[in-house]
Amino acid sequence: MANTDRQVPPAWNAVGRHGVFPEANHDEIARFNFLTNLNMHLASRVLPGVRKAYDKRIEGTTAPSSRREVGELLRREPLYQLWSSLRRNTMEMRQQNSRAMVFRQLPDLIEKARQLNDGHDNLQMNPAVEIPRYVSAVDTHCMPGSYHTEYCDDDVAAGANYDSGIFVTTAGMLGRYSDGGGQALVEWLREEAKSGYRPKRILDIGCTVGHNIVPLAQAFPDTEILAIDVSAPVLRYAHARARSLGIDNITFRQENAESIAAEDGSFDLIITCMFLHETSNLALPRILAETHRLLANGGKVVHIEQPQFTPDMPPYEQFMRDWDTRNNNEPFWGTLHDLDLFEAMAQAGFARENITTRNLFAVVDETLFPSAAKAAADSEDYGRKPAWHTYIASK
């Protein structure tokens, strides 16, 4: 059981199983548990020391005025080098442990997915969809082959890898089914319903395995949902996962978010969750324009991201939050967080006065999992804690 005071994560055994979830053996579980606790140790015990070392280095000098200057100092700091190297290695080791576990049983996983997927119209694959360069050119999150690579017919490996390993990176703070973001959206929608906002058609852009859209489908079974992604392995896995959890009101479709096959004003709610930073400078305006085109009058768009790098954010925090750009195969992370998203959404057509922000925290079963909302401030891991900054636009 989680100890929310000490922020000790539960064992990996607490992960929620479903019809296509990989089976882990003793050693694989032990590796997941070791890496999860190492991540927590790095965030709660080592990282505060990095800050002290930084403060010591700038003592009596002019403080750095930019994250570039912070980087020039910290790259010479042994404790930062240690923290950064271990953090990168926990991600690589997580990917390799998940990958080995999935490939050990891939034929069985494919067959389970096939039995859940075959004959159902809610999985719509389109091999003609081209993988955008900003997706294909990098192994995102150090995941070999990223989310789109297919190793065999009907492959689901990328989806199974991502689903089973994300617990390690978030230290369990996303909950049993790694759906704490989706559960938070359900709470937000229930608040909104009090003022009459009850979306009937929802679009989830960049859905991967459906972590965040399944809770909405469960909470609002009469709602019609379309979830899109360009990556075939995660979509096959997502549909099978949703079906095994009893969901039948989500259509998973292989599609590029820059040009979505739907009529203007088709959706009452459009969401993205930690997706925009995976896109390029050229793609982002097209995607935002699509959200404006597809949103019905009276509808809302919700983008869940990490905080923007504004002049109010100290250079040290900007540098630490930009770690993923330099070390986690997230080439557009810094670019997106330097951007004025308000302005980008306004250029897509939304009235500036109709764009707001609010904080959002993962909603989890706190008897088992640590709550991001209650996590101590010094446990901040600069982008890993499931506490987000949301951008909400109304039309």
**225-252 per-position pLDDT tens digit:** 999 999 999 999 999 999 999 999 999 9
Q: Which residues contact 65 (CB under 8 A, 6 or more apart)?
A: 315
CA of residue 228 relative to chain centroid, distance = 15
Q: Tell me what the mean pLDDT of segment 376-395 comes to.
A: 80
Model-wide pTM > 0.85? yes
More confident residue, 367 or 273: 273
Task: Determine, yes or no, domain membership for 8.
Answer: no
Q: Tell me what the mean pLDDT of segment 47-54 comes to.
A: 95
Q: Tell me what the mean pLDDT of segment 32-54 comes to.
A: 93
Task: Determine, yes or no, domain membership for 4.
Answer: no
Task: Determine, yes or no, domain membership for 3.
Answer: no
Decide if pLDDT at 55 tops 60.
yes
CA of residue 72 relative to chain centroid, distance = 29
pLDDT at residue 380 in the model: 62
Residue 278 to residues 177, 267, 333, 384, 387, Cα–Cα distance (Å): 22, 23, 7, 15, 18
pLDDT at residue 370 in the model: 83
**What confidence category does residue 205 fall into, taking pLDDT thresholds of 50, 70 and 90?**
very high
Q: What is the CATH number of the domain that holds 36?
A: 3.40.50.150
Decide if pLDDT at 74 tops 60.
yes
Give tens-digit pLDDT for 347-380: 999 999 999 999 999 999 988 888 888 776 555 6
Residue 349 to residues 194, 263, 282, 285, 286, Cα–Cα distance (Å): 27, 17, 17, 11, 11
Cβ neighbours of 177 (radius 10 Å): 22
Task: Determine, yes or no, domain membership for 5.
Answer: no
pLDDT at residue 31 in the model: 97
- How much is the mean pLDDT over the chain? 94
Decide if pLDDT at 6 tops 90.
no
pLDDT at residue 273 in the model: 95
Q: How many domains does the chain have?
A: 1
Q: 380, 323 in Cβ contact below 8 A?
A: no
Domain that holds residue 324: 15-394
Task: Determine, yes or no, domain membership for 10.
Answer: no
Task: Determine, yes or no, domain membership for 6.
Answer: no
Task: Determine, yes or no, domain membership for 2.
Answer: no
Q: 385, 39 in Cβ contact below 8 A?
A: no
Decide if pLDDT at 77 tops 90.
yes
Task: Determine, yes or no, domain membership for 383.
Answer: yes
- Widest CA span in the chain: 70
Give tens-digit pLDDT for 302-314: 999 998 999 999 9
